[in-house]
Amino acid sequence: MLRYAKYAVPYILKAPRRSPVKSLAGLALSYILFLLGAIFLLIAAFIWVATHYGTDTAFLSLGTIFLISAAIFMMIAKDKRYVKPPLPDNVAQDPLAAHIPASVRENPTVQKLLLHVSENPVAATATAVTLGMLISNEFFEEKK
């Protein structure tokens, strides 16, 4: 029975996953391309203003644009505050969550884990029992 449980653990624990490497690489590529496009637009704007109105006006106008955009970004960044999401009702009333300290429960990773356990109680119980059997068999098995 224990041999079959050892083979079943990977299938129980297997969950659909997104590839974080691909999403991070795509995000980095989009930021790099955005930055490169902004640099080329600023160079083109500087050259156009410098040829039509002079170099002094080009530096003055682009410097003013940079200062105004920086002030806007600072106001936007200062406005956002991190608000802890409240626990869902099914997690807050979970008997397992009642034994976990509040400081640990506020961790987003623990909240996701508790939510997963409350949504799939049978799979979570089967996984816990199987892992418990494997650990107890490894530690308490009598060696001959």
Same domain, 63 and 108: no
3-state SS assignment for residue 18: coil
Give residue 41's domain range.
Answer: 20-79
Q: How many domains does the chain have?
A: 2
| The pLDDT of residue 1 is above 80 | no
Residue 33 covered by a domain: yes
Which of the four pLDDT bands, split at 50, 70 and 90, describes residue 10?
Answer: low
| The pLDDT of residue 124 is above 70 | yes
Residue 7 covered by a domain: no
Other CB atoms within 10 Å distance of the CB of residue 91: 21
Residue 91 covered by a domain: yes
Residues 6+ apart with CB under 8 A from 118: 88, 90, 91, 94
Could you report the per-residue pLDDT of 130-140, keeping only the tens digit for each?
888 888 887 77
